[in-house]
Amino acid sequence: MLFYVISVLVIMADQVSKGLVRSHMLVGETLPFWNDYLTFTHYENSGAAFSSFQGYGRYFVIIAVGFVAAILYYRRKGEIKGRLMETAAAFLAGGAIGNAIDRFLFHKVTDFLVFGKSGGILNLADVAINLGMLLLVAHWIVSHFRQRKPYQL
């Protein structure tokens, strides 16, 4: 149940935030939010991460569907278990679906979060995917130390 709740919350937050940006900001418009740490800049990305593959974004819907299908398959098979893995998988699936919805409906993804002066621009689905990856890495690290034999002299 945790998986589905988190996935749906991620999708809803992502779609609502993108809808607000699309309806209240012009493309290219920037609003400072939190000093130099966070600004909102409306950007439309018709490609993939880092604006690569511009114009081919709709094909990433197929990849997202396959990715989410794989997550559901491995959950059903019992290979994704435990709160940390369930949470990681939920953030990954929710983020993938959130961006796939944009690509399917608009043939581009609405990005708007600029952290610091990095120049990178994200949306909440991207943040969820990054968080899911961090949680996966945390799970692998915790699992490694749990399975490790104590050092003996």
Active site residue: 14, 36, 102, 126, which one?
Answer: 126
Beta strand 30-34 with 109-115 is unpaired
Active site residue: 14, 36, 102, 111, which one?
Answer: 111
Tell me if residue 111 is catalytic: yes
Tell me if residue 36 is catalytic: no
Measured CA to CA, the distance from residue 19 to residue 123 in angstroms comes to 11
Positions marked active-site: 111, 126
